[in-house]
Amino acid sequence: MAARRPKRTTYRLSRDERMSEIMSVTRQMLAEMGYKNITTLEIAQRCHLSEGAIFRHFPTKRDLLIKVAEAWFEELLSVDEGDEAETSPRERLRREIGYALSIIRKEPTLTRYVLMELRPDPEYRSMHLYQLNRQFTNRIRNALTAAVASGDLRSDVSVDLLRDMIFGSIEHQTWAFLRDEGDFDVEAAAEGITTVIWRGMQTARDTPHRETRFAERESPTRHRCHAGHREP
């Protein structure tokens, strides 16, 4: 008599594990194909599931993509802002601006989806994603607040406005890249944006140096001409 084979044990994923698997596969396919090109059928095939199984967890493709975007933001928020005691206020601001630019470089498809598909939605402000985005932009707001509190930046312009100016600059720096029409340098853009904000908002303790440079630049002797040439 033949020996009885041991019964094979099949591990069944929990609901949360299955959803996580589907979202992980979807994120990978987004990077490969773009959000407009993937279908729930292709996602199901990649997960070795029926398309109906996808819909049991996510009613629509849009619902699935929103959950993927939310998970992405939660991942971004989990990154430590660092020890501000060991970093100068200016460097902290530059680091946070660089971080915001670097995630666009790393995840252009998800960035494009949030900016072009979700943010224009009239219901965007009622979404959980909106609250996550506010938490993310608060990283730069916190850096600005710390710089004002330390006396490095003036307080006569609200940090909310400065934050909005920074993210406006970030969007303009990366817009061509997101449209597959250009590129950008993360470090150069981060340093440039930081420099504009810092020089425009630095406190009066740096003013004498600026005034000296300005006075030297505007000195009449600098504009005296000799033999048709401006004085060097």
Q: Regarding the domain delimited by 15-59, which CATH topology (the fold level of the hierarchy) does it fall under?
A: Arc Repressor Mutant, subunit A (1.10.10)
pLDDT of residue 108: 96
C-beta separation of 184 from 101 below 8 A: yes
- Tell me which DSSP letter residue 115 carries: I
Give residue 16's pLDDT band: very low, low, confident or very high (50, 70, 90).
confident
Q: Is 185 helix (H, G, I), strand (E, B) or coil?
A: coil
What proportion of the chain, given as a percentage, has pLDDT over 90?
Answer: 76
- Give CA separation, 217 vs 191, 197, 201, 221, in Å: 24, 22, 21, 10
Q: Which CATH superfamily is domain 69-217 in?
A: Tetracycline Repressor, domain 2 (1.10.357.10)
By C-alpha distance, which of 157, 231, 138, 170 is closest to 198? Answer: 157
- pTM score of the predicted model: 0.80
Query: For the chain, which residues make up each domain, given as ranges?
Result: 15-59, 69-217
The mean pLDDT value of the chain amounts to 86
End-to-end CA distance of the chain: 105
- Give CA separation, 130 vs 2, 91, 199, in Å: 63, 27, 31
- Average the pLDDT over each of 2-6, 11-15, 126-130 and give the range with the smallest value: 2-6
Please indicate whether the domains covering 15-59 and 69-217 agree at the CATH topology level: no
> What is d(CA 22, CA 43) in angstroms, rounded to the nearest whole number?
7
Q: Which residues pair with 226 in a beta bridge?
A: 229
Token pair in block for residue 33: 């194909």
Most confident of 13-17, 91-95, 222-226: 91-95
> What is d(CA 64, CA 75) in angstroms, rounded to the nearest whole number?
17
Element (H, E) at 144: helix 128-149
> What is d(CA 109, CA 93) in angstroms, rounded to the nearest whole number?
26
